[in-house]
Amino acid sequence: MMQEYLVPEEAAGTRIDKFLADACPDLSRSFLQKLLKESSVTADGKAVKSSFKVNGGETIAFEVPKPQEAAIEAENIPLDILYEDSDIILVNKPKGMVVHPAAGHYTGTLVNALIYHCKDQLSGINGVMRPGIVHRIDMNTTGVLVVCKNDFAHNSLAEQLKVHSITRVYYAIVFGNLREDEGTVHAPIGRHPTDRKKMSIHSKQGRDAITHYRVLERFGAYTFIECRLETGRTHQIRVHMASIGHPLLGDEVYGPARQPFSLEGQTLHAGVLGFIHPRTGEYVEFSAPLPAYFEELLEKLRKRLEDKQLELEVTDAAKECIVAQGYDVNYGARPLKRLIQSK
């Protein structure tokens, strides 16, 4: 399959291998280098090497051979089904489950479970590796996900995603105490300039991304928030919240390497998903409750906050007692009158 990319003027002076790495996040650097070494990459029809620097305005083209896709096996994995009809199925994805097969994850995925449950009733637009999948959430993100049973439903949902008309509400716990009760992060997201496994707001090839957040509960060092997405970029909430200094608790990719709690990845839950039903034309909305680990963590944070407030109340009461007894709280047990006499 031929792939073509028009080089933006602002990318002028960038090495071709760097440009392609940013423009083609789904292709490995080694594969792109192989294409360049074999003179399989052209700029306005002329073969170029990896040292070539783009000028801006030219068209970069190369052929990508169609991958040989392995057959995906059906697996009898229990599904938490929120809703199902002849067109769509809504599931509550658990933490640790990959949505579709990919390198290193060919079994135990949501798709393996869906093939068993739905048999051959899944849309085929995204190929044999991603049947039914019109959108996805990260492996360690939990919550509601819609899957399409036919191409009619798939096309309808894909169009709604394209125009950003779908309601998507997530819940997260972030580090720090957000200054405002609500706000918006509007920053483009693309592949990280140096770490291809990460996304960043500093990518030259970034795509428009908007996240609205609202504080639900404050715990001093942590904040429980609701996030509403206008767009659906890879790792969007994780990248956006980290960009304003409030990475998600448990996120070792965009947050601190050492986490204060024993968590399996980020505390992020897709709580609400709403869209126009492809068959009826009516707006429908589905929700998934917070998973047990998330609820337990919230209770733990509430208890910590209560204990801290109680400690402050006890300290204040103790100070009042000390002063009433004629002692200076700043000097421990030395009587006030002794301090006065010594002056």
Residues involved in catalysis: 138
β partners of residue 102: 105
Q: Do residues 291 and 186 lie in contact, with contact meaning Cβ atoms separated by under 8 Å?
A: no
* Cβ–Cβ under 8 Å, residues 36 and 27: no
Look-up of token digits 């592949």: 191
Closest CA to 127 of 70, 75, 85: 70
DSSP per residue over 116-157, as a string? HHHTT-S--TT-TTSTTBS----TT-EEEEEEESSHHHHHHH
Helices (H), the chain: 16-23, 29-37, 110-118, 151-162, 236-243, 292-324, 336-342
At a CB cut-off of 8 Å and minimum separation 6, what does 113 contact?
A: 75, 76, 77, 78, 79
Sheet strands (E) in 134-267: 142-148, 167-175, 182-186, 190-191, 199-200, 210-218, 222-229
